[in-house]
Every structure is written in structure tokens, then in C-alpha cells.
Amino acid sequence: MTLLQVSHQTVYSYATPVRFGEHRMLVRPRDSMEQTLESFSLRIWPEPKAVRWIHDVFGNGIAIAEFEGEAKQLRIEAHMVLDHAPELTPDFEIDTRARSYPFEYAAADAIDLASTTLRQFPEQTEVDAWARRFVNAGGATNTGNLLMTMTYAIKEGFKYLRRPDPGTQTPAVTLSTRQGTCRDFAWLMMEACRSLGFSARFVTGYLYSPARDGYHRGGGATHAWCQVYLPGAGWVEFDPTNGIIGTRDLIRVGVAREPRQAIPIAGTFIGSKGDYIGMDVEVKVERVVSLQDGMG
């Protein structure tokens, strides 16, 4: 058992008191085989008039807050503890028919996977050409090797940058500049995979950065990576920012067809544009040390 404690704080500051519109928060991790949510709390200042929870079209847990009154600051804090127990080595139990690329999804699966297989930027042919570099032109390509090689190629060949501004640059820009944020790298890999016929989706969450790995890139903030659907193995995590395959050190919060659908916190305020000073985000992911850890 590995217990991880996550603290996620977001603070919006304004020059004068403003009114707040509805805010949607995607900060509650999804329960799954490798991560179980032990506790979760969400605190908001000023106190909202009402907070309700819904499941969006992807099954993510979304908190929606409504406000009244005015304030110069909006503070949102999420605290959680998870039992995180992923396999250290990803289990590529891919169906025999899909172990070599190319392959086709089963007809029933293809219907449900259609939206995550559809290209978002079909005109960006440079992304297609880059993706084809990982395919053996002389015959079949091992599916697992193809995806792992693409993941490592982004980690080793692209420069990671922190960019606090919202939004995700297009895959073509990431490819041409060879630099970007974790969400840019995830978006590039998704589009490259889709150009090859894979179903891929965007993942937002948190990153545990232990000293054993010399620390991962992207710690201290929310993190993003992607999943690819493989028959027999299901949705498999690929983090091109850090070269992580599988869920080791990755805490999944939400999944979506594209990055705009997986913004951790989104909302509006009523005031002049000049009132907005800025946003500060701080994420801490730490291991919870139990008494048993010190017993010999």
C-alpha cells in the first residue's frame, strides 16, 4: 500500500472586488483498480451560495459552485489522500490480433471509440509524417513498441516548458518548435496516434515526483498525459513528458476527448478586464508515511 496526499490550491486575485460567475472544478480523482480515494475535501473562499456535483459525459466528477456577493480573491483548495498501487511494469496483455500494427478495432468497440479516434487537425500533415516514423515501412510493427518509442521520443527530443497561460498549442506548433508543456506533449501524441488509427484521449491529474527518479518534469502543478485504447489491455497511460508508461506516479483525475474539456478549474467573473491580477496554482503530492514504514 502506498498512500499519497495531494494538496491543490488555486488563487485568483483581483484589483477591486468582483462578482463571481459559476465555476466548474475537475479536481476529484477517479477511483480505479490502481487508485482508491481514501478521503477528499473541497474548500472555497468566499463561501459559495451552493455547490453541486455531477458526472460529465466522460464520467468525471465535476463540482459546480455558485456565488453571491463580491470579493478581491477567490481561493479554491482540494485536499485528498489516495491508496495508489499501480503495477511497476505495465501489463501489455494486448489481444493477439492487435499485437502488431496495423490492426482494426472490433466493430462494436469502434462505434464507442469513434470520437476519440477522429482527428482534430487532419490538415496538419506534418504530424502524420512524424507519426509514420515509428512504423516499420517493411512490414508489421509491434504495437507496444511503437507507442513506447513515440512516448520516449517526445521526452528525449522536446524541451519541457512551464506556461501558466491557459490553452494548449496545436500539435503542429509543438512539433515545429520542439518544445511545450505537458498538455502540449499529450495533445501532440494523441493526434499522432489518431493519425495512425489509434483511439486516444486526454488525461488531467497529478504527478508524484519521488527523489528516486531525480524528480519528474511537471511537478508542482496539475499534470497532463494521454491514454491509448488497446484491445485486451484497455485504456493504457502514456506520459510523453516523463516517459512514463502505465500509471506509476500518475494520479488520474479526469479524461476527455480534447484538452478544453479537461480544464481543472474554469469560471467567470463580473467586472472590468483590468480588474484581473492573476492566478497562482500550487500542487503538492507527498507520500504519507505510516508507522509501519519505519518498522524493521
Judge if 142 and 223 occupy the same domain.
yes
Query: pLDDT at position 109, please?
Result: 96
- Residue at 290: amino acid letter: S
Task: Answer yes or no: do 79 and 217 share one domain.
Answer: no
- 91: in domain: no
Name the percent of the chain lying above pLDDT 70: 93
**Which pLDDT value is given to residue 89?**
57
The rounded distance, in Å, linking the Cα atoms of 147 and 44 is 40
- Banded pLDDT at 290 (limits 50, 70, 90): low
Can you give the residue range of the structural domain that contains 20? 3-84+263-291
Give the pLDDT confidence score for residue 296 in this predicted structure: 40
When mean pLDDT is compared across 48-62, 88-102, 130-144, 153-167, the lowest value belongs to 88-102
Residues 71, 170: one domain? no
CATH number, residue 223 = 3.10.620.30
Does 218 score more than 80 pLDDT? no
Burial of 212 (0-12, 13-18, 19+ CB in 10 A): exposed
- Same domain? For 245 and 268 the reply is no
Residue 57 belongs to some domain of the structure? yes
Q: Give the pLDDT confidence of 173-198 residue by residue, as tens digits.
A: 999 999 999 999 999 999 999 999 99
Question: What is the CB neighbour count within 10 angstroms for residue 89?
Answer: 9
Spacing of C-alpha 288 from chain mean position? 23
Let me know whether 139 and 278 are in one domain: no
Q: What is the pLDDT of residue 87?
A: 65
Range with the lowest mean pLDDT among 14-18, 36-40, 152-156, 159-163? 159-163
Cell 501532440 -> residue: 188
> Is the pLDDT score of 53 beyond 50?
yes
Q: Are 69 and 135 part of one and the same domain? A: no
Report the domain count for the chain.
2
pTM of the model: 0.92
